[in-house]
């Protein structure tokens, strides 16, 4: 029996459905492989972003326990943003994300409940999480917080520990598809088909999962992937379920945009603020974009369909699902849609298998 949880698409992010507390209280939070801390907004929350679902009230749970400043747990998580003020005994946390969004509050332990492959609930007592009393930024009102799936000590992956055998996987459905897909932990998460590439980590920053991308092909034109800052073990791009677009160095984006533009048909170039290489499309059936192939280390060639490479920016307008950066590189969630993405932390491999994520089967 392996733990799992439903995942649904929501405005550029993916929400994982779990429960917190005793009695179990439903939480819907962003599934994020690019961060570690598990957190949800908690009552009282005077300075929080608007949340549509009811907010977790720690006073209503019999298993909620604040983490003391003097505890080893608090001192061991300083890399995760924990700290203590001189006038408080409760361990405090504060996290700021890459887009400037932020959260802060109390660190606590609580029972986290997930579904399982056997159809029964799996309760994880004394899970470390952040009870957020302040936060804001770009968070969707449909999300109550974040479930960190990174490699750091506070993430759900790390807290599950040896029970997973170092394996987890997810399948992200297309935006606009209302059917849930699945986040799975343990042996059931193994991806046996598709292609695999080395999964690289950096001990100095264990949160991030790095891959090595050698080149990107646009049709028959191959573009070398250069200019990205290095990561652990020679990796040059972070795979992140919490980032929407794929971010590449500006030089690569320029070549990519030129190659795509020269091979697109059925669209008229238009400008859209904040996005690159956009086209007005009168008839979606007439728009044709070239196939993009991501050439990862180890011969892992991942072929992206139009839905992985273009996003609908507004009615009848589509834009390339890539953005430029000085040196940062992130493999975003649009590029991962309709692939079963399997992480094997012990085997140090990451696998991509084409799949219909709403059906749970290979494509």
Tell me the catalytic residues. Answer: 32, 240
Between CA 205 and CA 102 the distance in angstroms is 19
Between CA 249 and CA 324 the distance in angstroms is 5
**Residues 332 and 295 sit within 8 Å (Cβ to Cβ):** no
Between CA 140 and CA 163 the distance in angstroms is 32
Residues 6+ apart with CB under 8 A from 87: none
Between CA 90 and CA 238 the distance in angstroms is 33
Q: DSSP letter at 37?
A: -
The order of strands in the sheet holding 200-202 is 200-202, 205-211, 237-239, 330-331, 246-249, 322-325
Between CA 157 and CA 147 the distance in angstroms is 10
Between CA 37 and CA 153 the distance in angstroms is 9
Residue carrying the six token digits 């660190």: 107
Paired with 319 in beta bridges are: 278, 311
144-174 burial string, b = 16+ CB within 10 Å, else e? bbbbbbbbbbbbbbbbbeeebbbbbbbbbbb
Residue carrying the six token digits 């936060």: 135
**Residues 158 and 229 sit within 8 Å (Cβ to Cβ):** no
At 105, list the tokens.
């509050």
- Closest by CA position to 235, among listed 329, 332, 151: 329
């Amino acid at each position: 029996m392996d733990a799992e949880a439903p995942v649904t698409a929501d405005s550029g992010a993916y929400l994982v459905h779990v429960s917190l507390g005793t009695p179990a209280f439903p939480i819907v939070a962003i599934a994020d492989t690019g961060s570690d801390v598990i957190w949800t907004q908690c009552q009282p929350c005077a300075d929080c972003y608007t949340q549509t679902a009811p907010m977790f009230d720690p006073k209503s749970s019999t298993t909620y326990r604040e983490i003391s400043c003097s505890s080893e747990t608090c001192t061991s998580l300083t890399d995760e943003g924990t700290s203590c003020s001189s006038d408080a005994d409760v361990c405090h946390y504060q996290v700021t994300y890459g887009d400037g969004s932020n959260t802060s509050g109390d660190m606590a332990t609580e029972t986290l409940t997930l579904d399982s492959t056997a159809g029964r609930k799996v309760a994880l007592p004394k899970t470390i999480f952040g009870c957020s009393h302040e936060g804001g930024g770009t968070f969707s009102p449909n999300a109550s917080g974040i479930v960190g799936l990174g490699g750091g000590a506070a993430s759900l992956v790390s807290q599950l520990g040896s029970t997973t055998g170092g394996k987890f996987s997810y399948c992200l459905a297309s935006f606009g598809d209302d059917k849930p897909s699945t986040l799975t932990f343990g042996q059931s998460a193994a991806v046996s088909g598709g292609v695999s590439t080395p999964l690289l980590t950096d001990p100095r920053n264990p949160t991030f999962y790095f891959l090595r991308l050698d080149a990107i092909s646009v049709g028959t034109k191959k573009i070398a992937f250069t200019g990205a800052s290095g990561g652990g073990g020679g990796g040059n791009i972070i795979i992140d379920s919490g980032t929407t677009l794929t971010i590449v160095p500006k030089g690569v984006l320029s070549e990519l945009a030129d190659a795509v533009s020269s091979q697109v048909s059925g669209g008229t170039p238009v400008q859209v603020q904040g996005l690159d290489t956009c086209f007005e499309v009168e008839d979606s059936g007439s728009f044709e974009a070239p196939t993009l192939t991501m050439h990862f280390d180890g011969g892992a060639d991942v072929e992206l369909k139009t839905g992985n490479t273009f996003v609908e920016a507004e009615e009848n307008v589509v834009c390339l699902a890539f953005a430029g950066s000085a040196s940062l590189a992130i493999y975003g969630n649009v590029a991962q849609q309709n692939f079963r993405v399997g992480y094997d932390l012990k085997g140090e491999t990451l696998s991509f298998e084409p799949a219909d994520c709403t059906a749970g089967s290979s494509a």
